[in-house]
Amino acid sequence: MNAGLFAQYVMNGLMLGMMYALVAVGFTLFFGVLDVIKFSHGDVLTVGAFTALATYVGLTSAGLNSNWLALVIILAVAVMAMAALGMLIARYLVMPLRSAPALNTLLITLMLGTVLRECVRLFYPQGANPKPFPALLPRSSIDLGAFNLRLDNVLMLSAGVLTIVGLQFLLNRTRLGLAIRAVAQDEETARTMGINFTAIVLITFAIGSGLAAFAGVMNGLYYNEINFGIGLYLGVVGFAAAIIGGLGSVYGAVLGGFLFAGLQTVGTVLMPFASAYKDVFAFAVVIAIMAWRPTGLIREKISERV
């Protein structure tokens, strides 16, 4: 394999890894504050992507011709809408089940994911069919032999990095982040300190769901297509990434996302019929890693989550 082709595989792996990492971080945030696994997370991503597409259709119907302005608006609408949806899910579905067995929360969020997915399929116009997603970023590129460096990929990757860095800054350098970490460490002590537990949980779910919407828009821009099932796959991969990295660790979620993308890339290069076997290879390696390190690659105490 020449250097150009290798660089192309690396770039593709980085793009996939960023999307997986954004989804995995959401799982980690939810687990950090409430010890729950929200299995509807991937389908919130789907709703976010379709919300962005519907917003774009409305903007073009209104005569907006600026791609940059359209991108900012659809991203803002999708993120805010999914943040609101995440808060509603937390307030009316997840928090009332805190005293119930954990399996109840798993079941209700799994069923909610199916409801969200089927609502997109049934109520979005021709929602059962794949939908073209607008190419709103510059498509210019630089050819370096077998390596084609696309400007839109560089911009999306940079935006993803800035988002994760911004999240880390919020968690570690702000009063809100301190409150989130306090709730994750010890709910009762946090309440005693005057922290509004319910508000912090709702904000955390809003942040995680907003990240899912961001990943959904990124997926649409990268593939120029979305369908009602994208969240099912990305949710499974994001959850696997969070687990393999160490559920409860933001750094672990990011590491797990890029590791899973790297395994898919390696599978594409090494396995025959690459498109068919790359996921099999990646999940098989994840199974082996989890058998070796059941607590994930970055082991953190529950009191040190988030």
| CATH number assigned to the domain comprising residue 165 | 1.10.3470
What per-residue confidence (pLDDT) applies to 299? Answer: 60
Return the SS3 of 39: coil
pLDDT of residue 295: 78
Residue 268 burial (CB count, 10 A): 17
The model's pLDDT over 67-76, given as tens digits with 9 standing for 90+, comes to 999 999 999 9
Which has the closest alpha carbon to 27: 41, 45, 47, 15? 41
DSSP string for residues in 90-133: IIIIIGGGTTS-HHHHHHHHHHHHHHHHHHHHHHSTTTTS-EE-
Q: Is the pLDDT of residue 300 over 60?
A: no
Confidence of residue 34 (pLDDT cuts 50, 70, 90): confident
The helix (H) or strand (E) run that includes residue 147 is strand 147-150
pLDDT band for position 305 (cuts 50, 70, 90): very low
Domain-located, residue 122 = yes
Position 10 in a domain: no
pLDDT of res. 274: 55
CB hemisphere CA count around 177 (13 angstroms): 11
Residue 288 domain-assigned? Answer: yes
Cα separation, 239 vs 220, in Å, equals 20
Report the alpha-carbon distance of residue 209 to residue 86 in Å, rounded: 5
The three-class DSSP label of residue 185 is helix
In a domain, 9, yes or no: no
pLDDT at 171 over 90: yes
pTM: 0.93
Range(s) of the domain holding residue 296: 24-134+144-304
Q: What percent of the chain has pLDDT over 70?
A: 95
165 — pLDDT class (breaks 50, 70, 90) = very high
Domain-embedded: residue 130? yes
User: How many structural domains does the chain have?
Assistant: 1
Q: Does 295 reside within a domain?
A: yes
Q: Is 167 a domain residue? A: yes
Classify residue 225: in a domain, yes or no: yes
